[in-house]
Amino acid sequence: MKLLRYGKPGSEKPGCIDAQGQVRDLSGKVSDIDSRTLAPDQLRALQGIDIETLPIVAQPGRIATPYAGLGKFICVGLNYSDHAAETGAQVPDEPILFNKWSQPTGANDPVVLPRNSVKSDWEVELGVVIGTKARYVSEADALAHVAGYCVVNDVSEREYQMERGGTWDKGKGCDTFGPIGPWLVTADEVGDPQNLSMWLDVNGKRFQNGSTKTMIFSVAHLVHYISQFTTLYPGDLISTGTPPGVGLGQKPPVFLKDGDVMRLGIQGLGEQEQKVHAWNASLLD
């Protein structure tokens, strides 16, 4: 099932996508899509609905984050060996973890560059949404704790990340630096998360063209691994790393600027499009 939320900030409504790609209104069945909705029994109840009987939303307008109440936003660095190579980094022996501080934004909401940013970059990534509490789970049981998957753009300011000292977080957590969606696709519909093609264009030029099958650490391993350090709760999101083709890896490097347009997608999970804006506080409020 493909779940989404649509509408202006603060007035979002729950919806789903039918077999024809149309948005259907779920507000008569559930008040919102949030961490409680991600529980297995709640998802089964939604999946039992005859979608074709729901009202069609002809003009949904803004597509919001696919669920409300995002918990931890945990990211994995250098999880594709060819991406590590393009950045000159060593392939890690264990997953590299960092956090995004930014409030989640919808798939097509604007990306606003930080003030004086000169090295902001793009990264298409598979997002893993937790549906049941995971604490010290085995790798064999890890995927049973996943509610679904989504597209994430792990936008990154490389100067802040690499040249300003400390951890990566300060280059990853800038406002608007984590568009999510357009949909949350339930795990049963996705099937094997290690065989999904993924891509990203900037201004119509294809920069990233990869597949989740080349991950160093699989989704199951990541859920298992992270659960050894912190309890994962429904609504927590794991962004699992990016394939090669980021701006930092170009020769010479290419970074985002005002007016650029990013388009990205993952097989079966939908597409995003963001226009890049120079610093403008009015776009954040």
Each residue's pLDDT tens digit, 107-144: 999 999 999 999 999 999 999 999 999 999 999 999 99
Could you give all domains of the chain from N- to C-terminal order, each with its CATH number? 69-283 (3.90.850.10)
Q: What is the pLDDT of residue 196?
A: 98
pLDDT at 285 over 80: no
Each residue's pLDDT tens digit, 27-73: 999 999 999 999 999 999 999 999 999 999 999 999 999 999 999 99
Q: Kindly report whether the peptide bond that precedes residue 182 is cis, defined as omega within 30 degrees of 0.
A: yes
- Residues 18 and 141: their CA atoms lie apart, in Å, by 30
**C-alpha neighbours within 13 Å on the C-beta side of residue 14:** 20
Residue with tokens 């069609």: 56
- Residues 34 and 5: their CA atoms lie apart, in Å, by 10
User: What is the DSSP pairing of strand 111-112 with strand 270-277?
Assistant: parallel
For all residues of the chain together, what is the average pLDDT? 96
Q: What is the pLDDT of residue 167?
A: 86
Backbone angles phi, psi at 82, to 5 degrees: -75, -30
- Residues 72 and 266: their CA atoms lie apart, in Å, by 22
pTM, two decimals, is 0.96
In this structure, are residues 278 and 260 in contact, taking their beta carbons and an 8 Å threshold? no
